Amino acid sequence: MLDGPCWPVDGGVRTADAGTSGDLDVSADACTLVANRTFVATQVRECGLTAPGQLSGCYWTLVFKDNGAERQVDWHHSDLLQTLTYQCAGLKISAGRKDLSDAVYSGTYDLTTRTLSWDGVDYVASSADTAIGS
């Protein structure tokens, strides 16, 4: 489980762990590829101010949950947590409020690099990835 809104900085750049997802089904849509998985930003991002007023850094995360009836993503970015409903069309993901009337965030999953580009930031599946809600 994550400790706080984002993963702490432990140095370096996050890269895909080829062992976390095995062989990818190239016919799968993005919802299948991200379901019940955690994705971590590949580079350190800003995470708000510390008590003395200095910027802190961490790895932003996306936690996708799909229980069969509802698809939600918890997006931990900066010092915020947003819980959004998401849907997919091919390898593209749209997210917004529950009725998706304001699908203002989007992402695309790249099968070759196993990278999820979300709102201009690249994410990879966590090497500590485990199924959520199972």
pLDDT in tens, 22-37: 555 667 899 999 999 9
Which sign, positive or negative, has the C-alpha torsion 88, 64, 49, 14?
A: negative
Can you point out the beta strands (E) in the chain? Answer: 7-8, 38-41, 45-49, 55-59, 61-66, 71-77, 80-89, 92-96, 105-110, 115-118, 121-125
pLDDT at position 88 is 95
| Model pTM score | 0.76
Phi, psi of 3 (to 5 degrees): -105, 100
Instruction: Say what percent of the chain tops pLDDT 90.
Output: 52
